[in-house]
């Protein structure tokens, strides 16, 4: 390169141009172009050959343009190869714009490939916008594919809203297809049984299992599993409390589930309650007898307090009467002292 540059003054010297000088200048330019092309080939040659071998329409100068725009050409080419092999015809301009917007190009490409293979009609621009908004495009596409195969009505806008709301859209679709069972009460909350007292005063300890199915149209803004557990527990307590005797509950535990299920506890929640099954009912303490014993003890203490009060009042009255006797005696003695004076 230095030898070529040293020849340039010779080509322009003497105030004129000679055929030999023009030839040297032209040769220098050709050598410079060849060197630039060689550098481009060394840097982007492998990517270009990969594009040619896979049929991806990305030219050599497009790769150079990506480098000038500060776009990682390797990421774009890998994404294009992945998409074109799966039959998804993406454009480099779309991937470049998504890359410059700080988007995750490989994740977006995988999501588009999954949507194409799952035959889900969703646009690349929509998925790109959802990814830039912080959504999980892969789980959204998986949920759309599962919903389509299960013939569950779910469009991309609803799935996107559910995902951005912080709900697990894939788990919601799976629960819509395969209902799940919720323990009531939740063992992880620290309680193992639902305790209630029948009218006869006997405590019963119950466990229930609630089978629910997710309603996708109520998932955004609907109450969660904790609300279902709380409502079912309240219904069980109410049903047991309205029973005349604990034996009725032990003989027919299905009455509890029927009474609770008829109250429509899944209103304004994200789930539909399919069944409520009483898993276990155990007899606890005799709360009525204990309450009566406690009441009798309290009455006894009240009576003792009243008796002590009456005794204290009687003792005070006795002392008062004694004081009056002494006072009256003093008056008598005083009167007796006045008799001699009267006689005199």
Domain check: are 190 and 272 in the same one? yes
Domain check: are 224 and 277 in the same one? yes
What integer pLDDT is reported at residue 70 of this predicted model? 85
Distances (CA, A) of 14 to 20, 21, 24, 157, 195: 13, 11, 15, 76, 111
pTM for the complete prediction? 0.64
Domain check: are 142 and 194 in the same one? no
Domain check: are 213 and 278 in the same one? yes
**How many domains does the chain divide into?**
3
Q: Which two tokens stand for residue 2?
A: 């230095």
Domain check: are 76 and 135 in the same one? no
How many CA atoms does the CB half-sphere of 267 hold within 13 Å?
Answer: 5
Domain check: are 173 and 265 in the same one? no
Q: Which of 163, 178, 193 is the last residue of a domain?
A: 178
206/192 Cα distance (integer angstroms): 9
Radius of gyration, alpha carbons of the chain: 47
Answer yes or no: is 313 within a domain: no
What integer pLDDT is reported at residue 50 of this predicted model? 81
Nearest to 194 by CA among 152, 249, 156, 131: 249
Answer yes or no: is 5 within a domain: no
Own/partner pairs for 65-74, CB < 8 Å, 24+ apart? 66/92, 66/96, 67/43, 69/96, 69/100, 71/96, 71/99, 71/100, 72/99, 73/44, 73/47, 74/47
Domain check: are 138 and 214 in the same one? no
Answer yes or no: is 233 within a domain: yes
Q: Which two tokens stand for residue 264?
A: 């429509």
225/333 Cα distance (integer angstroms): 93
Domain check: are 158 and 195 in the same one? no
Specify the CATH number for the domain of residue 226. Answer: 3.30.479.30
Domain check: are 282 and 189 in the same one? yes
Q: Which of 100, 127, 142 is the last residue of a domain?
A: 100
What integer pLDDT is reported at residue 44 of this predicted model? 78
Domain check: are 122 and 94 in the same one? no
Q: Which of 261, 286, 311 is the last residue of a domain?
A: 286
Answer yes or no: is 31 within a domain: no
Cβ–Cβ under 8 Å, residues 208 and 232: yes
228/270 Cα distance (integer angstroms): 9
What integer pLDDT is reported at residue 225 of this predicted model? 86
- pLDDT tens, the chain, 344 aa long: 444 344 444 444 444 446 667 787 777 777 777 776 776 666 777 888 888 888 888 888 888 888 888 888 888 888 888 888 888 888 888 888 888 888 888 888 888 888 888 888 888 888 888 988 888 999 999 999 988 888 888 888 889 898 998 888 888 888 888 898 999 888 887 788 888 888 888 888 889 999 999 988 888 888 888 888 889 988 888 888 888 888 888 888 888 888 888 888 888 888 989 888 888 888 878 777 777 888 888 888 998 999 888 888 888 988 888 888 888 888 888 887 778 877 77
Answer yes or no: is 261 within a domain: yes
Answer yes or no: is 35 within a domain: no
Which domain, by its residues, includes 128?
Answer: 112-178
What integer pLDDT is reported at residue 337 of this predicted model? 79
Answer yes or no: is 245 within a domain: yes
Domain check: are 165 and 218 in the same one? no
Answer yes or no: is 251 within a domain: yes
Bridge partner list, 230? none
What integer pLDDT is reported at residue 3 of this predicted model? 42
Q: CB-based contacts of 307: which residues, under 8 Å, 6+ apart?
A: none
Domain check: are 224 and 247 in the same one? yes
What integer pLDDT is reported at residue 16 of this predicted model? 47
């Amino acid at each position: 390169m230095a030898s070529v540059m040293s020849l340039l003054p010779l080509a322009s010297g003497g105030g004129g141009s000679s055929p030999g000088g023009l030839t040297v200048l032209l040769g220098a330019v050709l050598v410079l172009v060849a060197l630039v092309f060689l550098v481009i080939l060394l840097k982007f040659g492998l990517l270009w050959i990969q594009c040619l071998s896979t049929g991806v329409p990305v030219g050599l100068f497009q790769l150079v343009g990506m480098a000038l725009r500060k776009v990682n050409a390797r990421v774009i080419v890998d994404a294009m190869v992945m998409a074109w092999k799966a039959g998804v015809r993406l454009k480099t301009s779309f991937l470049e714009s998504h890359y410059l917007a700080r988007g995750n190009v490989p994740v977006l490409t995988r999501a588009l490939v999954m949507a194409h293979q799952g035959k889900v009609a969703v646009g690349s621009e929509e998925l790109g916008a959802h990814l830039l908004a912080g959504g999980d495009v892969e789980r959204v596409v998986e949920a759309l594919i599962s919903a389509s195969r299960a013939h569950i009505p779910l469009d991309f806008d609803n799935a996107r809203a559910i995902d951005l709301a912080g709900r697990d859209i894939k788990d919601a679709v799976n629960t819509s297809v395969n209902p799940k069972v919720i323990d009531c009460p939740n063992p992880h909350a620290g309680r193992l049984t639902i305790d209630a007292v029948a009218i006869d005063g006997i405590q019963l300890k119950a466990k229930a299992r609630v089978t629910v199915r997710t309603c996708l149209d109520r998932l955004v803004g609907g109450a969660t599993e904790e609300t279902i557990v709380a409502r079912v527990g309240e219904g069980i307590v109410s049903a047991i409390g309205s029973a005349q005797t604990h034996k009725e509950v032990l003989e027919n535990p299905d009455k509890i589930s029927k009474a609770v299920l008829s109250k429509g506890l899944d209103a304004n929640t994200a789930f539909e309650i399919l069944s409520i099954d009483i898993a276990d009912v155990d007899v606890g303490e005799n709360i009525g007898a204990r309450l009566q014993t406690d009441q009798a003890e309290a009455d006894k203490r009240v009576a003792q307090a009243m008796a002590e009060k009456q005794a204290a009042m009687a003792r005070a009255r006795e002392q008062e009467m004694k004081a009056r006797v002494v006072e009256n005696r003093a008056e008598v003695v005083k009167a007796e002292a006045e008799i001699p004076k009267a006689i005199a």
